[in-house]
Structure 1
Amino acid sequence: MAKIIHRSVVCKTHLLYTICWNPSAFVASFILPALMNLRRISTSRTNYIQNSSDFLREICNIVTQHYHRGRSILPLEHLAPKLSTQQAVSVVELLQRDDQGLALSFFYWTVKQPKHQLHIQLYQTMARSLVNGGLIEEAQGVLQLMIRSFSQAGKIREAVKTVFEINNEGLTLNVHTFNCVLRELCQIMESSEVAEEFYREMVANGVAPDACTYKTLIGSFSREGKLREAERHLRRMLEKGFEVDPVTYTGIINAYCRRGHMGRAFGLFEKMSQTGCAPNVITYTTLINGLCKAGKVKKAFELLEEMVKKGFMPNVYTHSTLIDGLCKKGWVEKAFRLLLKLVRSSNSKPNVYTYTTMIEAYCKIKKLRRAEMLFRRMQEQGLAPNSVTYTVLIGGHCKEGNLTQAFKLLDRMIEEGCTPSICTYNAIIDGVCRKGRLHKAYELLDECIQRGLRPDKVTYTILISRHCKQGDTNQALKLFDDMIEHGCEPDIHTYTALISGFCKVGNLEDAEKYFSEVLEKGMVPNKVTYTAMIYGHCKANQANLAIKIMDKMIENGCIPDSVTYGALIDGLCKEFKVEEACALFDGMLKRELVPCEVTYVTLINVYCTKEEFTLVLELLDKLDQKQKIRAFNNVIKKHCNEGKLDHAKMLLYKMLERDILPQHSTYDALISLCHKKGTFDVASTLLLEMAEKGYKPKEEQSQKKIHTAENVIYY
């Protein structure tokens, strides 16, 4: 640094010395070279301007010649790389002096070139030129092209600004140009607020909205579910005397149906008829779909009858909607009969969506043979299964543990050129996780990424859930952090999996932490989330806190199910709070909830401890036959393990009275206990009763103990 400073000081000193003591040397050394350099720059600039002018003239000549010969394609490809955007603007200015058609011809060629497509000055120059020439419609066309080009590039705001600038300069833009902007705003920005702001600005600039303006606004508000605003614009449209078409009405009706507001949907349907707008097949299908989604399938069929009476023929989408509704209601066989009716119909044959709906329904009720049959049938009818069809069937096989068939379907799907989606991989990753094959799940995840697919929140949640079920919350947390790092926002299902994992391993501190995070983020905990927290506190012998969580759950409108009640009853029983557990059980029955088998067994064990066998038998008799068999055997074995032979015998006799045969292991447990207590006469009696019932013990251990008992009694 010191050397550089020294050199600089020496140079400056030398220059000062030359100027003072030798002026002629200064002129020769410094002034003359500078002047020569300026001359070279000036000459170069003159040559550039001259060359540029020649270049522009060449373009103008080509455009003029081809335009007058009536050729629409300009042979300018060889000059395109050299042409700058500013030069393109200059060519437009030059050509418009002779003929606006020439300028417009060149302009349309220029904006097809990617490097000039988003140069706003080019559009402004062309539009102003056309306005000056009195070609207003053509100017509007240029501005509409600008709007579309800029909106596709995500620069719609720049285009909007230019539109208003040109409008304020004296070019009165027509409503079609403003509607063009409005449509692009609604499609690209997907914001009804921005559209509404533009609408107000448009009115403020003296542009009178037309029917198209209102339809665009109504469509935007309907898609976003802002139905008050949509109806406000509908009223304005009617007040101004514009004709409202079925598409506009159906859009709002569909929005109401999506939100389950069927009363409002039908109210608008009636208003539609009152204003002289006749509903069409799409309107009826939309309402039928809404009713099916709301579980009101019978009403949907009633509306179908009304539709047919009025002369409207239902199409494949109408029938597919009804099939979907029947399947979601659990009436799969009725849906299948409707499908067969469609197959035989000559008017509306089932499509891929129809078959996929039925295949999914059969997969859900574990009738995979039927699902496979429909899969083959649709192909026989010339319908190619899509990604959703394959995914549904793969998911069905995975849930049933048929991984071999699931992988065959995946391979076939790829072979037939049907690209698997992230949903497809999620289904098969879930399948291998259910089998505990986490390494294979990660292999599939790598394959998925190699195909250019990004793991979504479902992918992460499946893996997090599996790690939590295995008690590996550390790896689950790593995945959770990785998920957020990759911009994938966890949802309530992800948090629930994590909370459940922490509760399972007894880490209530972290469970509480992530539960609080759920609330802070404005998420709504579901039944599974609350039940996990209740289970965690019960496991930690904090049943009182679990009760408070359940109270909060009900307060927040989340109704506990039998699993939630079961977890809390189990926790109360472990803390010997039997009265509270019984009260909760009674409350559960009043809510018409069906207790699960575990809850029954928990209470049966409690009543057994209290020796209230009348209540024990009442609870046992409430179970179905399979559950009753399991419960009797488990309770008897439990009493045997606790050494309570009298209780075990009594329950055995009650079991036999109900014509329920004990399991081999139950007899083994009883005979083993008799042997330990030395009550060989009881063992002998059991042996005789077993023989009467036609039961012969198979286990060697039981045989030895029985023979020992017989020998002791004999001697």
Structure 2
Amino acid sequence: MLIRLWKYPGFFTKPIVQSFLFVRPFCQSSPNLNSVVQTITSLVQESYNQQQQQRAHFSFWPAFFKRNFPVEENSDLLTPEEAITVAASLANTDGSMVALGFFYWAIELPKFRHFMRFYLVLVMCLMKNGNSERANEVMHCMVRNFGEVGLLKEAVDMVFEMQNQGLVLSVHTLNCVLNVALEISWLDLAENVFDEMCKRGVSPNSCSFESMVVGYCRLKRVMEADRWLVAMLERGYLVDNATCTLVMDVFCETDCINRALWIFGTLCDIGDARNAYKLLKTGFESGFSADLVTYTVLISESCKRADLRQALAFLTKMVKSGIMPDVHVYTTLISAFCKENRMCESEKLFDDAFLKLGKLCSEKKVDIAAMFFDKLLEKTHNVDRVTLAAFMRACYDSNNYALVSNVSEKIIGQNGESGTE
């Protein structure tokens, strides 16, 4: 089990604690600027003003500054400490957006990109400006940039320490941590960060759960993926198309068909039928082979939603696959069509069902025919003479006289009149 070192105050080393003591003065007042810092600061301010005059969106501003002040040609002008000074000065005098523009320019260079105190100073300054959203944005960058050089754990520790320093962490920041951890298959860290989210008052959203599902699916860890998917669906979160496709691929590939069907049913229950059927379509394309039980479930779910078009599509696919519908399929469909007052389709299904009953009788499959017959009689007493005679003859031939008596009682109407034609 991974130890959550950020929970222990003594974990942070003396240099890290000293870095916080050094950060605060930058954010409280503008430090004395040397000539290099003054020059860079002026260039940043000038570029920002030009961008503002052209009314360009902020997203173009870092590129605008880079064009006026190419990174490669000016990389040696600033030391990391001077870059910190520039960022702090801009945040104090010109505001958060100007400082961010310089920040995005600077982190293209490795000497700034992987210099933790550069991030911490800017976050503290943005917090001082009351700009928690942009402070979280800087945290995103730190997590991703440090993750790419194997320092994700250090970045995660600092994210939680910044919360201790007053930063209001957003769920997007912690989702970023989850995604980076899962991208490098650091599952223990992802699980612990998820737990820490809840403990620190940051409510996981659908993206949080989805990240965990996807992470485990990519590693073919079906049991864990299923556990997170269940937790996600129980909270009523919808699953997007890409995740549905991935889940069905993995579950079919690992022969977890029953779980895939459970997901289909759950998606239908929470009203996400579109993704439920997309998931099923993906399964068929992945080689998913349905049996009688599977088709019965699919048709039943479609009928529950009154999606009779889809139910008939499953029935057609079932028959084409060489699987004959049983009495449960027929009675489910007949009931659904009757509820929708679609009597023509209902009668056609009755006819099909009685044709099958006659075939069963001719093949002397009396027990199956009896079950079939019994279910149909729950829906109607109007059985034609030919079908009834075939059933009775099959019962007598197999010496099953009790079935004859039982069926006769059910066919007799409430007034003692025969229901035969």
Equivalent residue, structure 2, for 1:310? 310
Identity %: 28
Task: Report if the CA contact (8 A) 2:163-2:169 is conserved.
Answer: yes
| Correspondence for 2:135 | 139
Bigger Rg, which one: 1
Label 1:213 to 1:298 Cα distance change in 2 as closer, same or farther (>3 A): closer
- Within the candidate set 65, 74, 78, 1:73 is matched to 65
After superposition, the Cα gap between the structure-2 partners of 1:237 and 1:224, relative to the gap in structure 1 and judged at 3 Å, is same
Say whether 1:185 aligns with 2:181: yes
Counterpart residue number, 2:256: 261
Deviation at 1:290, TM superposition (A): 4.8
State the 1:62 CA deviation: 1.4
**Distance in 1 of aligned mates of 2:45 and 2:37:** 12
Shift of 1:239: 4.0
| 1:60 matches 2:41 | yes
Report if aligned partners of 2:248, 2:280 keep a CA contact under 8 Å in 1.
no
Shift of 1:266: 2.2
1:148–1:184 contact (8 Å) kept in structure 2: yes
Q: What do residues 442-497 of structure 1 show as CA deviations (whole Å, max 9, x unaligned)?
A: xxxxxxxxxxxxxxxxxxxxxxxxxxxxxxxxxxxxxxxxxxxxxxxxxxxxxxxx
Following TM superposition, by how much is the alpha carbon of 1:116 offset from its aligned partner in structure 2, in angstroms?
1.6
Deviation at 1:298, TM superposition (A): 8.8
**1:245-302, Cα deviation, whole Å (9 max, x unpaired):** 455454433322111122332233223222322146642343224545xxx4998xx8
Change (3 A) 1:232 1:65: same
For residue 232 of structure 1, report the CA deviation from its aligned partner: 3.1
Shift of 1:171: 0.7
Q: Distance in 2 between matches of 1:264 and 1:67?
A: 55
User: Secondary structure, in 3 states, of the residue corresponding to 1:83?
Assistant: coil
Q: Residues 69 and 245 (structure 1 numbering): CA distance in 2 closer, same or farther, change over 3 Å?
A: closer
1:126 correspondence with 2:126: no
Aligned counterparts of 1:232 and 1:261: Cα–Cα separation in 2: 13
Which residue number corresponds to residue 217 of structure 1?
A: 212
Q: Which has the higher contact order (CA 8 A, sep 6+)?
A: 2
For 1:68 and 1:181, locate their aligned partners in 2 and report how far apart those are by CA, in whole Å: 34
Gap runs ≥5 in structure 1: 1-50, 314-321, 323-715
1:236 alignment counterpart: 231
Match of 1:407 in 2: none
Q: Structure 1, residues 32-84: CA drift from partner, whole Å, max 9, x if none?
A: xxxxxxxxxxxxxxxxxxx9811111111211222222263253334322311
Are the structure 2 counterparts of residues 150 and 260 from structure 1 closer, same or farther at C-alpha, using a change threshold of 3 Å? Answer: same
Say which is worse superposed, 263-272 or 126-135, in terms of deviation.
263-272
Pair 1:170 & 2:166 matched: yes
Shift of residue 119, structure 1, vs aligned partner: 1.2
Displacement of 1:191 in angstroms is 3.3
Displacement of 1:108 in angstroms is 1.5
Check the 8 A contact 1:126/1:139 in 2, yes or no.
Answer: yes
Give yes or no for contact 1:249–1:268 (8 Å, CA) kept in 2. no
**How far does the alpha carbon of each residue in 1:324-376 deviate from its partner, in whole angstroms, 9 at most, with x for none?**
xxxxxxxxxxxxxxxxxxxxxxxxxxxxxxxxxxxxxxxxxxxxxxxxxxxxx
Quickly say closer, same or farther: Cα 1:212–1:89, change in 2 above 3 A. same
Q: What CA deviation, in whole Å up to 9, does each residue of 1:185-236 have, x standing for no partner?
A: 111x213332111111222222111111111112222333333433333343
Asked if the contact 2:44/2:65 (under 8 Å) is kept, the reply is: no
- Is 1:103 aligned to residue 99 of structure 2? yes
Match for residue 247 of structure 2 among 227, 231, 252: 252
Choose the corresponding residue for 2:86, options 83, 88, 91: 91
Map 1:55-454; keep pairs closer than 5 Å. 55-70=36-51, 72-74=64-66, 75-77=68-70, 78-100=73-95, 101-187=97-183, 189-245=184-240, 247-278=242-273, 279=275, 282-291=278-287, 296=289, 310=310
**Counterparts of 1:80 and 1:245, CA distance in 2:** 43
Distance 1:235 1:297 in 2: 22
Question: What is the count of residue pairs matched by the alignment?
Answer: 258
Distance 1:312 1:174, change over 3 A: farther
Q: 1:226 to 1:133 in 2, by over 3 A?
A: same
Partner Cα distance (2:180, 2:220) in 1 = 19
SS of structure 2 residue aligned to 1:112: coil
CA contact (8 A) 2:217 2:246 kept: yes
Aligned to 1:82, the other structure's residue is in SS state coil
- Flag the 1:263–1:67 CA change in 2: closer, same or farther, 3 A: closer
Find the aligned partners of 2:141 and 2:115 in 1 and give their Cα distance. Answer: 12
Task: Return the alpha-carbon distance in structure 1 between the equivalents of residues 102 and 69 of structure 2.
Answer: 10
Greater CA deviation, 64-73 or 116-125?
Answer: 64-73
- Tell me if the contact between 1:254 and 1:265 (Cα under 8 Å) persists in the aligned partners: no
Q: Secondary structure at the match of 2:193?
A: helix
1:87 deviation in Å?
A: 1.3
Deviations 1:476-529 (A, max 9, x none): xxxxxxxxxxxxxxxxxxxxxxxxxxxxxxxxxxxxxxxxxxxxxxxxxxxxxx
Residues 98 and 222 of structure 1: CA distance in aligned 2, closer, same or farther (over 3 Å): same
Q: Identify if the C-alpha distance between structure 1 residues 297 and 235 changes in structure 2 by more than 3 Å, giving closer, same or farther.
A: closer
8 Å contact 2:177–2:190 — kept in the other structure?
no
- Per the alignment, residue 344 of structure 2 pairs with none
Alpha-carbon distance between aligned partners in 1 of 2:102 and 2:264, rounded to the nearest angstrom: 52
Q: Unmatched 5+ residue regions in structure 2?
A: 1-31, 52-60, 303-307, 314-320, 322-421
